[in-house]
Amino acid sequence: MCVQLCGGENKTLDMEHLPCSCRTTCSESEILSISIKSLAGERRVAMLTLASKLKRDEGVKTGRAPGGPSDSSHRVSIRDRLLIKEVAELEANLPSTCKASFPDENKLHHFQLAVSPDEGYYQSGKFQFEINVPEAYNMVPPKVKCQTRIWHPNIAETGEICLSLLREHSIDGTGWAPTRTLKDVVWGLNSLFTDLLNFDDPLNIDAAEHHLRDKEDFRNKVQDYIKHYAR
């Protein structure tokens, strides 16, 4: 913390670690201005910026006073605290074929994911996903939509996605659970182009039947879509 004292000299002080005598001497009338330094560099990754925000928030934790925020507001706070931690985890475990970006670094609940498969039918394409995390997270899954038109058995041309872990209610235990995190969602989306590519339980039935009927023609159509929509 940078503090300008009456003597005109600027000092960088940590008020919590000052000797008791100094804290007594430095009265409120002696402090003329306080400035807080911002994180350096426009190119600093948003995830790191928001991780430091969590540390600041943790330092000023207080209980809710009577007449304070509603349960809905409290729920948002829980979501945001979870997301700051999960984004840091995601950054450390992001697949090499994925890139996450945050249009507003103060809103972790809304971000973009670009997946660029390096093998299989969809190699050489770049597919954009929009991920929105609702206020009730982590009791409910994120909402995900593919923004790139694609010929895929598990992704509709209008952007809807069939991925088991995004199902809020699942009788086979593969759906969403509060133990899952953003890392699971991102890895699941990435795997839709490799391990989780599923022609037996399709969302886009026409694409699945096309693959069954003529695999080479299916490949050609996938590449045609990539050429027009996924560069």
Q: Where are the domains of the chain?
A: 2-35, 72-229
Question: CA angle at residue 163 from 138 to 198, to 5 degrees?
Answer: 160
pLDDT, position 77: 72
Residue 178: how many CB atoms within 10 A of its CB? 11
Closest CA to 122 of 150, 94, 164, 161: 150
Residues that are catalytic: 162
In the chain, which residues have pLDDT < 50? 1-46, 59-67, 69, 75
The superfamily CATH assigns to domain 72-229 is Ubiquitin Conjugating Enzyme (3.10.110.10)
CA gap 46, 205 in Å, rounded: 39
pLDDT, position 39: 37
Alpha carbon of 208 to those of 165, 181, 203: distances in Å? 21, 29, 8
Chain-centre distance of CA 125, in angstroms?
A: 22
For residue 129, the cross-strand partners are 113, 146
pLDDT, position 170: 74
Alpha carbon of 45 to those of 104, 105, 190, 218: distances in Å? 12, 9, 21, 39
